[in-house]
Each structure stands twice: as structure tokens, then as C-alpha cells.
Amino acid sequence: MKSVSRDQSNEIGARVLRNTDWGQLDGDALQKSIIEMSEVEFGRRFALFLKNGASFVTKGPGLLVVDRTKPFDPSKFIGSGWTIWRGPKDGDGLTGEEAQDARSLKLVEIDFAKVLFEHGIKKGETVITGEEKLARHIAAKHIRLDAKIGQCLFEEKGQVTLEWLYQTFGITWFELPGTVLRNSNGFRYFLFIYRDGYGWWYWLSFWLDDFRYAKNPSAVLAS
């Protein structure tokens, strides 16, 4: 495969500026859905757009159904001693309101063609902690997909949505920041899902005090 030349990339940029009918677009919608998107996520999607012959991927494999009649149970899915964190992050995690995104908990169907994969790292940074990333998701008002959604993805027959994400967007790793988990030692975690080099999908938990890099995005929706 031949690399794209500078002249070719400049020509594409010029065509976007020269030939786009900006008058047809809603400025407020453009600001919310595209301009506020991270540069990395925008670049990933635009590269896919060009790779697909200037045609957008508008539909995923179908809506993922999330069974909300059975709440996520960390002790059953992860193991004994795991719970959902309760109360403030500087508490013991045992009392108070569950640390889950209430907006995500209302979702019973999800179109993953609309899901964003955001790492939260700002220009000039190379790494942040999970706690800092969580704070940035909250500040950006992202709808943070919860652990139940991760469970449904993992348990979906044929894991068709996960495979579609890999085949379409090259996604091999993401965490679910809509649920903060607590282990038996009282530490805070997110559930994450990843694909190994053999094509198998797995889940694990990631300590929030540990470092996150650009390769460690979260699955979120725009507010």
C-alpha cells in the first residue's frame, strides 16, 4: 500500500473547505457532534470515511439490547468481594448512592455506530489516571456507558457487536466508565473489554489510580 503524499492530503483538505455546502449544516449540531469530539476520535472516523470511498458508516450490526430487568452484579460477573462503589470517591465505597451514570442505566438499546471512544488526554499530555479521565468525562457531560452494557456485549451471541467494532473501526480495547467498581480491598475500578491477537474477546478490571494512555479509550455517547 502506497502512503498518502502531502499533495494528496492537502488536496483533500482544500476540497473540504472549497466544496462543502456549509449553509446546509446546523452550526449548533456541528459544534456538539463534531467540533467537541476529540481530535483523535475525529481523525479515526475521518480516516474510515476516506478508506470507505468517502462514504460514512451509518449503521452498525443492529441495536444491542440491554436487559435492565437484571442489574449488573459484580459478585457474579467478576467474583466474590466485588461490588458497585457507593458514595464519594474518598469514602469507603460501601454506603451512599451507587457510582453509576444514571443516563446510561436508562438505555435499553444502543446503536454502536454512534458510540464514541474517547481517551480524555489533552494536547501535550501522554498519560492520565483513570480518576482524572472519569472527571473529564463528567465535565464533558458524556453519557458514560455502564458495566451492564459491557456484560451484554461480552455475552451477546457470536459477539457480533464487538466484532463489528473491530472490523469497522479497529477497536480492540475500551472501558466502561459508567460504573465504578469496588474490590474487596476497597479500591476503585472500571470494567474493560479487549481483543487479543488471536481474535478472542476478554474482560478485566482496571484500577482507577493506574495510568491511561491514548490506547485506553472509554465507550461514551455525546450528551
Q: What is the pLDDT of residue 169?
A: 87
Residue 55 has pLDDT above 60, yes or no: no
User: How confident is the model over 168-202, as pLDDT tens digits?
Assistant: 889 999 999 999 999 999 999 999 999 999 999 99
C-alpha cell of residue 124: 501535550
**Averaged pLDDT for residues 89-105:** 98
Q: Who wins on pLDDT, 39 or 132? A: 132
Grid cell 438505555 in the structure block, residue: 107
User: How confident is the model over 14-27, as pLDDT tens digits?
Assistant: 887 887 878 777 88
Rounded Cα distance between 2 and 5, Å, is: 9
Q: In the chain, where are the structural domains located?
A: 6-51, 64-221
Name the pTM for this structure.
Answer: 0.79
Rounded Cα distance between 50 and 48, Å, is: 5
Q: Is 77 buried (19+), middle (13-18) or exposed (0-12) by CB count in 10 A?
A: middle
**Averaged pLDDT for residues 55-66:** 73
Task: Name the β-bridge partners of 188.
Answer: 182
**Averaged pLDDT for residues 108-135:** 95
